[in-house]
Amino acid sequence: MLRRSWMIAIGLLLFTTAILLAGDHKKCTMSTQDCLDHMAAQMKSSGWVGLELDRDDDSGSLTVLKVVPGSPAEAAGIQPKDVLFALNGVRITKDNDEALMKARKEWQPGQSVTYTIKRDGTDRQVTLTLAPMPADVLARYIGEHMMEHANSEMAKK
């Protein structure tokens, strides 16, 4: 089974900025400055969970690789190796990416979301309150994406 590790902070509007999309890695079509401005505005005002995940390319399932210390995910008790099975009752699969993306676009700090997680063969519900993204995390995600822009520009030369 092909697995690719990728960083995603659920609740960010990374989907709208095309940093990392479910299944396909799409190239950002904005200019570097436009992309930077867009990402900063979108990510600054969107809700943040605080997870690093691995997505199974075949099923679309998400396994927790890391829980960011001090994050809403940590406060809710999510742990590495948990499998995110559903978000607000919507199963997390490749077939539901559009519905999940639509729900995430609306996330704001202070809003509560509920994950169904699988841990040690048991399903459990975990509700957490989304937080604003910390500045250091915001800078890291934007920096990683700006490196993609730089690499893309170098490849054109």
Write out the DSSP string of 25-53.
Answer: -PPP-S-HHHHHHHHHHHHHHSEE--EEE
Q: Each residue of 24-39: pLDDT tens digit? A: 345 678 887 888 788 8
- Whether the per-residue pLDDT at 9 is higher than 50: the answer is no
The predicted model gives 19-25 an average pLDDT of 33
The dihedral of CA 5, 9, 11, 17: what is its sign?
negative
Q: In this predicted structure, what is the pLDDT of residue 27? A: 66
Task: Compute CA distances 82 → 4, 101, 115, whole Å.
Answer: 17, 21, 11
Higher pLDDT, 28 or 126: 126
* Whether the model pTM is above 0.75: no
How many angstroms separate the CA atoms of 25 and 7, rounded?
Answer: 12
- Whether the per-residue pLDDT at 52 is higher than 50: the answer is yes
Q: In this predicted structure, what is the pLDDT of residue 96? A: 85
Q: In this predicted structure, what is the pLDDT of residue 119? A: 95
How many angstroms separate the CA atoms of 113 and 103, rounded?
Answer: 10
